[in-house]
Structure 1
Amino acid sequence: MKKTLLVLSSFLLASNLFYAQKDSKNWNGKKCAVVLTYDDALNIHLDKVIPALNSFQFSGTFYLIASSPVVTGRTEEWRTASQKGHELGNHTLYHPCDGSLPGREFVTEQNNLSNYTIARAIKEIREANQVLKNIDGKSERTFAYPCGDLKIKDTLFHDYLKNDFVAARGVNEGLLPAKSVDLSNVNSFVENGSTAKQMIAQIEAAEKAGSFIVFLFHGVGGEHPLNVDFEEHQKLLLYLKNREKDIWVTTMVNLGKYIQTKQSH
C-alpha cells in the first residue's frame, strides 16, 4: 500500500511539474512576451532606434502620426523599416487629445478631441490607416490612443473601429493573463527617465506573473519631453537578447493576434 501511494505521489508531482512548466511557457513557447512601442513618429526612431533594433534582430511597433513631416518626408525609410519586420501602427492623422482635461495646455483648438465628433475621429483614423497602407501595403495593424484618451465626451470611439484593428494600446499599467486582456485597451508601461535596471525589473515582474509587458517609449536619446536615455535603451535590448530563450520580443499586431487565438479557445 505504501509503495502504491509513493508511486502515485511521484506521478502527481511529475504531472504538476509538467503542467507548471507547460503553463510557464504560454507566450509563443516562451515565459513572457515583450512589445517595444514608440510613439509620435520621431526622427530619432528612424535614425537611432530602428538601427539599434535591427542590430539585435528585434522588431518594434512604431505608432505614426500620419500627417507628421517625419512620415510624409521620410516615407521610403518607414517602408524599409516595415520590410525589416517593424510594425507601422496608427496614432491617428493629427494626434488629437482631450484639451478639457487637467494639464492639457499643449492641446490646440484644432487638435482638441473634446471638440471632435465621433464621425470626424473615425474618418481621420481611417485616413491614417490608408496612409500607412500606402507605405507598407498591409491591412492588419494596431492603434494607439493619443494621450491615452479613450472617449469623446462619454463615448468610447474605438467601439466603432473594432473591425479596423487587431488591438488598441492604452496607457494604463497592469499585468494580465492572455484571456483577461481587453484588446480594445491593452495595458502598457510609459517610460520616462527610466533606467535599464527599472525596465528589466518590470519584465521580471511580468515573467513572474506569467504575463506580457508593452513598453511605451517616445524619445530615446532626445527629441521629446518624455525621454529614455539611448544607452539605457541599449542595455534593455542587450538584456532581451540574452534572454531570447525565455522572452518573446514581438510586435503589437503579432501579440494581439496571439491573444485572440488564446481567447478563442
Structure 2
Amino acid sequence: MLQKFVIPFFIICLTGVNVTVIAQQTTLWNHKKCAVVLTYDDAIDIDLDNVVPALDSVNLKGTFYIIGASPAINNRIPEWRKAASNGHELGNHTLFHPCDGSLPGRGFVSPQHNLYTYTVQRAVDEIRANNCLLKAIDGKTRRTFAYPCGDLTIHDTAFYQQVASEFSGARGVVPALLTPHEVKLDNINSYAIINHDAAYMINLVKEAMRTHTLLVFLFHGVGGGHALNVDKTAHSQLLHFLQQNEKDIWVAPMVDVADYIQQQQSQP
C-alpha cells in the first residue's frame, strides 16, 4: 500500500509538475482553458446583416459596441432589441464616437466630435446619455464600455474613471493575452482584426488555450461595411473553430467575462 502512493510522489518530484497549478490553469476560465470575447465596433448595418446571423448559426454570443447616433441604430432598433434578447451584449461606444484629433493620422476626426476639445463633463454626459438609449433598447443596466479610437484621456484626465462604477469594464485596443488577475478592467486588451486570415485568428485562439488567458477580438466590418474589414469566410471559419472546441473555450459577451474577472480578482 505504501509503494502505491510513494511512486507517484517521486514521479511528480522528478518531473517538476505542480498538480495544483495544472488544475487551476485548466479551470481558470469558467472551467475552460481560456476565454474568448468577440467584439464588434460602431453599430453598422453589417452587424445585423452578417454578424448576428453568423453568431446565431453556431450559438455564440458577441458584444456590439454601439454608437448611439449611428443611423443603423435609429433605423433598426427592433433588430438590435432582438439581438440583445438572444444574449448578445449591446456595449457603450459613446453617443458620437469622439476621438482625439490632435494625434497623428486623425484627419478623419470632425471638429464637432474632437475629443481634444471636449471637457470631461461633456464626455461623461454623452456616455451616460448613450447608456440611457441602450437601456431603452435592451432593458439592461449592466454592460461594458469601449474607448473610441482607444483614446483613454482628455489631455491628462482619464475620463472613464468618472463613470467606471456604471460599467463592468472597458475594452481598449492594445493587444495582449492575460490571466484573470493580470487583466486591467479599465483597459481590457484586444486584438484588432483588419484583413487578417482565419489561420491568424485561430492561432491566436490556440495560443490563448495554451497559456490559459483571455483573448478579445476587435472587429469592425465583416464582409464589408467598414474600411477596417475582415473577410466574411475567414470570420466564419473562426466561429466554427470556436464552436468545435467549446469544451475548452469559454466564448461569452464582454460583460459576462468582465464580471467573472472581477470576482476572480476579489479572491486571494
TM-score bucket (shorter structure): over 0.9
CA distance in 2, matches of 1:202, 1:8: 36
Partner of 2:10: 9
Q: CA deviation at 1:10?
A: 4.8
CA distance in 1, matches of 2:70, 2:185: 26
Q: 1:113 aligns with which of 89, 112, 115?
A: 115
Partner of 2:257: 255
1:230 is the counterpart of 2:232: yes
Q: 3-state DSSP class of the match of 2:113?
A: coil
Partner of 1:164: 166
Amino acid at match of 2:159: F
Partner of 2:183: 181
Q: CA deviation at 1:257?
A: 0.3
User: Over residues 71-90 of structure 1, what are the superposed CA-to-partner deviations in whole Å (9 max), with x where a residue is unaligned?
Assistant: 01110100000000000000
Q: CA deviation at 1:159?
A: 1.1
User: Over residues 19-54 of structure 1, what are the superposed CA-to-partner deviations in whole Å (9 max), with x where a residue is unaligned?
Assistant: 413422210000010000000001011011101100
Is 2:40–2:63's contact at 8 Å kept on the other side of the alignment? yes
Q: 3-state DSSP class of the match of 1:155?
A: coil
Partner of 1:59: 61
Unaligned 5+ runs, structure 1: none
Partner of 1:102: 104
Q: 3-state DSSP class of the match of 1:180?
A: coil
Cα distance change on mapping 1:225 and 1:4 into 2, 3 Å: closer
Q: 3-state DSSP class of the match of 2:184?
A: coil
For the aligned residues, what is the CA RMSD?
Answer: 1.9
CA distance in 1, matches of 2:173, 2:16: 41
Amino acid at match of 1:59: K
Unaligned 5+ runs, structure 2: none
Partner of 1:211: 213
Amino acid at match of 2:162: Y
Amino acid at match of 1:55: S
User: Over residues 174-210 of structure 1, what are the superposed CA-to-partner deviations in whole Å (9 max), with x where a residue is unaligned?
Assistant: 1111011110000000000011100011111112221
Q: CA deviation at 1:263?
A: 0.2
Is 2:209–2:248's contact at 8 Å kept on the other side of the alignment? no
Amino acid at match of 2:183: V
Equivalenced residue count is 265
When normalised by structure 1's length, the TM-score is 0.96
Mapping 1:67-82, distance limit 5 Å: 67-82=69-84
